[in-house]
Structure 1
Amino acid sequence: MTIELGITTFGETTVLEKTGEVIPHDERIRQLVEEIELADQVGLDIYGIGEHHREDFAVSAPEIVLAAGAVNTKHIRLSSAVTIMSSIDPVRVYQQYATIDALSNGRAEIMAGRGSFIESFPLFGYDLANYDELFNEKLDMLLAIKEQTNLTWNGKHTQSVDNRPVYPRAVQKDFPVWVATGGNIESTIRIAEQGLPIAYATIGGNPKTFAQLVKAYKEIGSRHGHSPEQLKVAAHSWGWIEEDTKSAIDNYFYPTKQTVDNIARGRAHWSEMTLDQYLESVGPNGAMFVGNPDVVAAKIIKIIEDLQLDRFMLHLPIGSMPHEDVLKAIKLFGEKVAPKVRAHFAQKEAN
């Protein structure tokens, strides 16, 4: 059983607690390249960057940051987390990630998502009334481009294409396209029917509640003729690592509350975070992975076993933390947490 471990980020740019300052977007983007390179050096398997179009996140074009990260890395896989398929041209998505695949010599991936943030829709001229139709059609178009060089496509929300080639082609023959979801059953069913690997955002409540979705995904995928190798499952959760658990919990509250409260201002079903809610989330059954390497490793092992995961990604950090502290957390993840998790599953496999 091979478990992939990695990091996701949105390049957050909220107020830093100690200084009251906000990291400029350009500086945060440069920091991300250094963080990718360190994650590669300490042996992590995957680094994913999300797409947003708002002030509190620096990255609107993750493919460009990932391309920069590809140049000086050797092993780590580079993915979007996510590409908002509904508001982007699938031809350009494929071309961009095929280019990253070339720069990294076969380490690029796409993680497609509907977009829980909707700023890109009016920005690029899309109607939110077509939210699901846009995603489904554009994902299908991307998969068609992936399968053959010459594209013939009849579009409703996309352009129609008559036998035109799409270049460059990806280095990887079976270029990975994952689909991310927050836990919607209809999304799970469609992803399973297509036989695509799925990534769950386990960012609230008890992650174990996703077990029924995972079970449904695998059963439906199998009924549609897809192999276990195709039906891979990942989870992405918020987290933070320091040498001392109390310090990690104390330091992570402010940036997490900043991010949650920012989101809550624009969403009726979100509320500002209280300290009690936070402490429950970082507790044994909560969705946040915060603490020293032993605590975080044990919690990662539990979610992998509960959900039968192939991949776990720690969103590190949520909200802005000092860059030097983020680098320390990445080192702890790669050098102390990941070896414990891998050793646990290697032992299980040996037995």
Structure 2
Amino acid sequence: MIAIIDGAFERFRPLVDLYRGAGARAGHDPATLKVAVHAVGFVADSDDDARDIFFPGWAQMIGKYARERGWSQPTRAQFDEMVSPQGAFLIGDPATVAAKIHHASEVLGGISRIAFQMTSAAFETAAMIRSIELLGAEVAPAMRAFHSNPWARSAESR
């Protein structure tokens, strides 16, 4: 499990390669070496809704750590960079989140599981429930369809 909470997914490929190389040198079948990603994530009905709902809780949580450690306070611009197509946050509508998960799988050479860190999201229970509903009803089926289609996966992950 790789926890990716900052930067771009591509930055973590050397760690995946190291893991797979060590597994191969130890005699493990490459097909049995699974890679999982843990990332900040939240799904809403639109990209704008997801960002606007998630940002206040994220800013409050990161702001607390920043005060404790003497860092500068987080900004909306920093957050927007992390939810951009190049950022590591899986925040947006179901299609956006599924596309970012596909991208992560491609650049990491195939992932078998993704875990969402959602605790800093909305303070509204309804928004969290809606996010979980969208994950189950739209994102998960898109991921299953992607993984059941061998032509959709990268050559490295087959």
TM-score (norm. length: structure 2): 0.87
**Among residues 107, 115, 134, which one is paired with 1:306 in the alignment?**
107
**Among residues 13, 18, 22, which one is paired with 1:216 in the alignment?**
18
Change (3 A) 1:271 1:228: farther
**Among residues 80, 83, 97, which one is paired with 1:296 in the alignment?**
97
Q: How high is the sequence identity, in percent, across the aligned residues?
A: 35
Secondary structure of the structure 1 residue equivalent to 2:69 = coil
**Among residues 74, 80, 92, which one is paired with 1:273 in the alignment?**
74
1:262 and 1:319 mapped to 2: Cα distance?
15
Secondary structure of the structure 2 residue equivalent to 1:266 = helix
Bigger share in helix: 2
Per-residue CA deviation, residues 95-122 of structure 1 (Å, 9 max, x unaligned), is xxxxxxxxxxxxxxxxxxxxxxxxxxxx
The answer to whether the 8 A contact 1:317-1:326 is kept is: no
- Are residue 333 (structure 1) and residue 135 (structure 2) matched? yes
What is the match of residue 240 of structure 1?
Answer: 42
Which amino acid in 2 is paired with 1:298?
A: A
What is the match of residue 86 of structure 2?
Answer: 285
Shift of 1:320: 4.8
Change (3 A) 1:226 1:271: farther
What is the match of residue 228 of structure 1?
Answer: 30
The answer to whether the 8 A contact 1:205-1:287 is kept is: yes
- Are residue 252 (structure 1) and residue 54 (structure 2) matched? yes
Bigger share in strand: 1
1:317 and 1:332 mapped to 2: Cα distance?
16
Change (3 A) 1:275 1:350: closer
Shift of 1:341: 1.6
Which amino acid in 1 is paired with 2:90?
A: F
Change (3 A) 1:243 1:210: same
RMSD, matched Cα: 1.9
Per-residue CA deviation, residues 277-330 of structure 1 (Å, 9 max, x unaligned), is 111000001011111111111111111221121111111242452122111100
Uncovered stretches (5+) of structure 1, i.e. residues with no partner: 1-198
The answer to whether the 8 A contact 1:284-1:299 is kept is: yes
TM-score (norm. length: structure 1): 0.41
The answer to whether the 8 A contact 2:121-2:128 is kept is: no
1:206 and 1:323 mapped to 2: Cα distance?
29
Secondary structure of the structure 1 residue equivalent to 2:2 = strand
Shift of 1:229: 5.1
Secondary structure of the structure 2 residue equivalent to 1:272 = coil
Per-residue CA deviation, residues 164-194 of structure 1 (Å, 9 max, x unaligned), is xxxxxxxxxxxxxxxxxxxxxxxxxxxxxxx
Change (3 A) 1:262 1:213: same
Shift of 1:271: 4.0
Q: Which has the higher contact order (CA 8 A, sep 6+)?
A: 2
Secondary structure of the structure 1 residue equivalent to 2:36 = strand
Secondary structure of the structure 2 residue equivalent to 1:265 = helix
